[in-house]
């Protein structure tokens, strides 16, 4: 009863936590456990553990906190299990430990930018987001701990772990070597790694002694539990060779590399696996749409209205679509598999065609008339029923072009004109 009254008075701000001697003189206690509880709760609750300390702390402050932590731990074991008093004691123990860590690891003078092994670490200001340190694999308590994030590969770590980092920034690898491992899980065995983690060189084994060996499906190598958190990702080699999009377990460094490479157009499917177009109809459809967009591009470049409307910016997230029709990114293939890319690209294709054929008179004037039949509407090279001469880029009806056995009329005129200028002059 006396404990409950003191706790209520404390929460109302009636007790000074550092005036324990005065309170002990005014209150008589016979229970030793209650004396311990009061001393622990004074240190654990009265102090604002989440405020930044002013000035420097002397060693006695840390010793007092350590003593209070031990007393609080003993109290938790002595109190009835699942009781309200025990729950309050657990909360106070957490507060005490966080305060002790803050005193032992002050961070007032931490710089906002640090460069380590090509990582560019920026100090984070978020205090509420719960993160995990990529170096020590423990939780980052943003409320009282300083932590950094690499702007290149998004590597996160405590400030105290910065000098322990041994892995260079993955962004530099992406910049200098933008290519995927195209062999499916190229395993070489633990013996070739000397039974050590491929990244931190810690001893590992498949039996988990001293550390569990975890295989990365992207590199085929084995890693310890600190470097391999059982994260999953889509493997490029499995997509290209098997058209398989199931996620597989990868190590942390592979996960960051794959995330950074996700939107980079480095896959030339026509060379890596040309047979894929025979079995995946969606790829054929996307290739045709990309080819049409490339044929539309010259119209937009020379059209003032199209430039003002910035039509080509609709493909700013896939800039390679207006540069070639051969290169793909892993994100492109994922979107093709899900059907998202087909829908969005068809809509853009329709918008582009509408501008050229209906909305803009200048673009309409650049159309073609079939010189073989000289009938029908104005033709454009991206129309589905047309064919384009490879030599002069003239446009004809597809049926007329393949049924006519003669050469291209425009090519014939150009050839005749060229021969006329090459005739020797008569004097």
CB-CB contact of 131 with 81 (8 Å): no
**Distance (Å, whole) CA 208 – CA 191:** 15
Nearest by Cα to 110 from 131, 98, 125, 96: 125
**Distance (Å, whole) CA 286 – CA 307:** 25
Q: What is the pLDDT of residue 91?
A: 81
Dmax over CA atoms of the chain, in Å, equals 135
* 83 Cβ contact list (under 8 Å, min separation 6): none
Q: Treating both helix axes as pointing N-terminal to C-terminal, what angle do 340-354 and 330-338 enclose, rounded to 10 degrees?
A: 90
Q: What is the pLDDT of residues 58-95, one digit of tens each?
A: 456 778 888 888 888 888 888 888 888 888 888 888 87
Q: What is the pLDDT of residues 168-183, one digit of tens each?
A: 888 877 777 778 999 9
CB-CB contact of 229 with 212 (8 Å): no
**Distance (Å, whole) CA 143 – CA 130:** 9
Q: What is the pLDDT of residues 265-311, one digit of tens each?
A: 999 999 999 999 999 999 999 999 999 999 999 899 888 888 888 88
Q: What is the pLDDT of residues 117-152, one digit of tens each?
A: 888 888 887 766 678 888 888 888 877 788 888 888
**Distance (Å, whole) CA 367 – CA 10:** 86
Q: What is the pLDDT of residue 81?
A: 84
CA separation, residue 325 to residues 1, 274, 343, 347, 417 (Å): 80, 14, 18, 18, 34
In the block, tokens 């004037």 appear at 365
Q: What is the pLDDT of residues 250-277, one digit of tens each?
A: 999 999 999 999 999 999 999 999 999 9
The dihedral through the CA atoms of 245, 249, 253, 255 has a sign that is: positive
- What phi, psi does 122 have (nearest 5°)? -110, 135
Helix, coil or strand: residue 23: helix
CB atoms within 10 A of CB 186: 12
């Amino acid at each position: 009863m006396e404990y409950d009254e003191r706790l209520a008075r404390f929460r109302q701000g009636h007790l000074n936590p550092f005036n324990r001697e005065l309170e002990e003189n005014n209150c008589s206690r016979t229970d030793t456990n209650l004396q311990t509880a009061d001393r622990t709760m004074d240190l654990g609750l009265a102090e604002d553990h989440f405020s930044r300390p002013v000035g420097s702390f002397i060693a006695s402050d840390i010793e007092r906190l350590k003593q209070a932590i031990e007393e609080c731990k003993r109290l938790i074991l002595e109190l009835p299990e699942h009781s309200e008093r025990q729950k309050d004691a657990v909360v106070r123990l957490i507060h005490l430990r966080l305060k002790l860590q803050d005193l032992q690891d002050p961070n007032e003078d931490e710089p906002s930018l640090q460069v380590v092994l090509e990582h560019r670490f920026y100090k984070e200001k978020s205090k509420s987001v719960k993160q995990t340190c990529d170096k020590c694999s423990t939780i980052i308590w943003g409320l009282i701990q300083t932590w950094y994030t690499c702007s290149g590969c998004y590597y996160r770590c405590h400030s105290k772990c910065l000098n322990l980092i041994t892995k260079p920034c993955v962004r530099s690898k992406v910049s200098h070597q933008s290519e995927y491992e195209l062999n499916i899980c190229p395993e070489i065995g633990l013996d070739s790694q000397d039974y050590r983690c491929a990244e931190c060189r810690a001893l590992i084994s498949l039996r988990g002694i001293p550390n569990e060996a975890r295989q990365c499906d992207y590199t085929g190598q084995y890693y310890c539990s600190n470097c391999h958190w059982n994260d999953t990702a889509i493997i490029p080699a499995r997509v290209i060779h098997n058209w398989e999009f199931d996620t597989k377990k990868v190590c942390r460094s592979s996960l960051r590399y794959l995330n950074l490479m996700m939107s980079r157009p480095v896959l030339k499917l026509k060379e890596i696996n040309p047979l894929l177009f025979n079995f995946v109809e969606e790829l054929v459809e996307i290739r045709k749409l990309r080819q049409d967009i490339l044929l539309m591009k010259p119209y937009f470049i020379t059209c003032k209205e199209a430039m003002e409307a910035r039509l080509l910016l609709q493909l700013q997230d896939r800039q390679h679509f207006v540069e070639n029709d051969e290169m793909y990114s892993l994100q492109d293939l994922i979107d093709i598999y899900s059907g998202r890319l087909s829908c969005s690209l068809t809509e853009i294709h329709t918008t582009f065609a509408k501008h050229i054929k209906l909305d803009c008179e200048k673009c309409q004037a650049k159309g073609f008339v079939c010189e073989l039949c000289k009938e029908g509407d104005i033709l454009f090279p991206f129309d589905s029923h047309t064919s384009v001469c490879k030599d002069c880029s003239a446009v004809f009806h597809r049926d007329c072009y393949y049924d006519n056995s003669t050469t291209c009329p425009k090519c014939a005129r150009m050839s005749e004109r060229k021969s006329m200028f090459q005739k020797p002059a008569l004097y």
